[in-house]
Chains A and B, each alone.
Chain A
Amino acid sequence: MDEARIARRGLSPRLWLAGGWLLLALLAAIFAPLVAPQDPLAQDLMLERLPPFWLDGAEPGYWLGTDSLGRDLLSRLIFGGRIAFIVAFAAATSACLIGSALGLIAGYFGGWADRIISRVVDVWMAFPPVLFAILLVAVLGTGLSSVILAIAIIDWTRFCRVIRAGAMSQARMDYVESARIAGYGRIGIMLREVLPNVLPSVLALLSLEMGIAVIVEAILSFVNLSISTDDPTWGSIIAEGRLSIHQAWWVLVFPLITLILTVLSFSQFGEALKARFDPVLR
């Protein structure tokens, strides 16, 4: 893309706000040992339920306060971000790869390939996703990789449906017919002609799915089915915060805000990406 076109379209504030938050959260998670002000696991009964910095009784160095065991909330959120991002990237990418490949095949080739894939998708989507996830984790066992696997297994259908519809409408376009007349093979047409046109939707969905994966992981750790270690996760912090809502509201509110901001940012970032890369809007 040339500079003139970027300038003409302007830099969407949405892209920058969402992207900025995600980048900040991601960097904090990656460099957690360097940026976290405290050890996220260190308990100190002298420091329990300290309020955030602007309230009376706050301690310097404990910016967002502490929980009922005296652990620093900000540090726990930063370390919790590590698991959130690992799950987001790994689960969403896996779901995306499986779903997009199948959706592309179903939509472009049609026929019996489409009938089989669409049938499987229908059956899959008949399960309520959260129950499905809990069931899967119960079967696969708790732990990071089971959570990732469960999300990928459940959510590939989301990609499959959207990509299938996109590929189907692209396959009807005259340029696909021209490519066939010229003598291109079917796979070549699918990858070179059809795929680039569904890619913007794939990107948007991938980003949205990362947000969804963050929520699902939070729900699973909320019901204590996610990572069965002491490592803090946003879901487990929320679960603890719920218990002490009357004594220390911040332990519930800050992780909720973090979670919501992250999920919204993923979905907004996806939309903005799509607008940017959509060939006709471009």
Chain B
Amino acid sequence: MSACLDIRGLSAVLPNGQRVLRSVSLSVQPGEVRALVGESGAGKTMIGKAVLGVLPKSVRVVEGEMLIEGEDLGRLDAKARRTLIGARTALIPQDPLTALNPSRRIASQMTDRLVRILGWSGERADKRIRQLLDEVQIRDPERVLKSYPHELSGGMRQRVLIAAAFAAEPRLIVADEPTTALDVTVQKQILRLIAQLQRDHGTAILFVTHDLGVVAKVSQKVSVLYAGKVVEEAETAQLFAAPQHGYTRALIAATPRYTDPYASLKPVDESVLAGLTAEIAAADKEWRPSHG
């Protein structure tokens, strides 16, 4: 069986030639949650955008392949790529406020995609949306459907977006820090909901986060990203039990433990970072894109 998402040696550069992604390889198997963890600025969002075909204009992919369920995105024309991405993937975004159109009611935003893109009847879409709202435990769907986004709380908006993401039964969901913008109390509920729907629907998720605590809760596999480079990849349990890379060890040491939140935390070790940076700089000097 082909992987749900397969990224092979993906490199991307900014107009000034600086690399933002350095030969990134990672795969997500069907029904699996793969965490992509790294500090802010590591390029996690960039990878998500590359998968979804919405990289900023200034970022250029210079090498590598991306396959969704075995289909090579690079071999499709723009229209076929859009159709494939639209049908098989969805995004759970970081900021639930700006991800909803402020001037449209929730109902029309949620059904629109099913009706216009997938060609469902309005009735079928409506039924589907209500079912999903029930799954994300929204108790008063009537009110929510009639609301404008700013009339809902952050947690409520994120529930709506989770429901919307799962509504069209995508094979792969990119969840980009889906709890970062939320209150701590709401974060846990939202994580639990995503995990629940993921299991029920058997959807593969590329789960982007900077928080190893979240990684431990939601994912089966992890890729650790530093400066656009995957420095370690492992089964989640394996990664915590026996981290191989110095950077991963440092990252784990810098993460609060729920069992012992008062244990002293070490900031990520300077010498580890210095070593990594030198290693990456050396690799950049050698590096030539394989094509383009």
Contacts and interface: CB of A to CB of B under 8 A. Distances in A.
Interface of A: 173-175, 177-178, 180-184, 188, 192-193, 196-197, 199, 279-280, 282
A193 B104 CA distance: 8
A148 to B, nearest CB: 31
B113 A182 contact: yes
Contacts of B100: 175
A2 to B, nearest CB: 8
A279 B116 contact: no
B82 to A, nearest CB: 5
B117 A184 contact: yes
B87 A183 contact: yes
B103 to A, nearest CB: 4
B83 interface: yes
B86 A193 contact: no
A175 B112 CA distance: 13
Given A182-B113, A183-B83, A280-B150, A196 B52 contact: no
Given A181-B52, A181-B54, A183-B82, A175 B98 contact: yes
Contacts of B113: 182
B12 to A, nearest CB: 17
B235 to A, nearest CB: 29
Contacts of B83: 183
A173 B113 CA distance: 18
A141 B113 CA distance: 52
B99 A175 contact: yes
Which 3 pairs, one residue from A and one from B, show the smallest C-beta to C-beta distance?
A183-B86, A279-B103, A174-B99
**Chain A contact residues: helix, strand, loop or mixed:** helix
Contacts of B85: 181, 183
A178 B104 contact: no
A37 B140 CA distance: 60
B91 interface: yes
Contacts of B89: 181
B116 A184 contact: yes
Contact of A181 (B90, B95, B103, B112): B90
B53 interface: yes
A197 B102 contact: yes
12 contacts: A173-B98, A174-B93, A175-B101, A178-B93, A181-B90, A182-B86, A182-B113, A183-B117, A193-B101, A196-B101, A279-B102, A279-B150
B100 to A, nearest CB: 6
Interface string B32-59: 0000000000000000000011100000
Contacts of A177: 54, 91, 93
A174 B91 CA distance: 10
B240 interface: no
Nearest to B112: A192
Nearest to B53: A181
A2 B100 CA distance: 21
Contacts of B101: 175, 193, 196-197
Nearest to B81: A183
Nearest to B109: A175
Given A183-B83, A183-B86, A178 B99 contact: yes
Contacts of A180: 53-54, 82
Contacts of B98: 173-175
Nearest to B49: A177
A188 B85 CA distance: 18
Contacts of A197: 101-103
A178 B91 CA distance: 7
Given A177-B93, A180-B53, A197-B103, 17 more contacts: A174-B93, A174-B98, A175-B99, A175-B100, A178-B93, A178-B99, A181-B53, A181-B54, A181-B85, A182-B86, A182-B113, A183-B86, A184-B117, A279-B102, A279-B150, A280-B150, A282-B148
B51 to A, nearest CB: 10
A282 B103 CA distance: 10
A196 B117 contact: no
A279 B147 CA distance: 11
A182 B84 CA distance: 10
Contacts of A192: 112
Contacts of A178: 91, 93, 99
Given A280-B150, A282-B148, A181 B91 contact: yes
A252 B114 CA distance: 63
A177 B50 CA distance: 12
A222 to B, nearest CB: 41
B161 to A, nearest CB: 8
Nearest to A176: B101
Contacts of B54: 177, 180-181
A253 to B, nearest CB: 44
Q: Which of A183, A193, A199, A280 has the most CB of B within 10 A?
A: A183
Contacts of A184: 116-117
Given A174-B95, A279-B148, A280-B150, A181 B104 contact: no
A277 to B, nearest CB: 9
Interface string B111-147: 0110011000000000000000000000000000000
Contacts of B91: 177-178, 181
Nearest to B51: A181
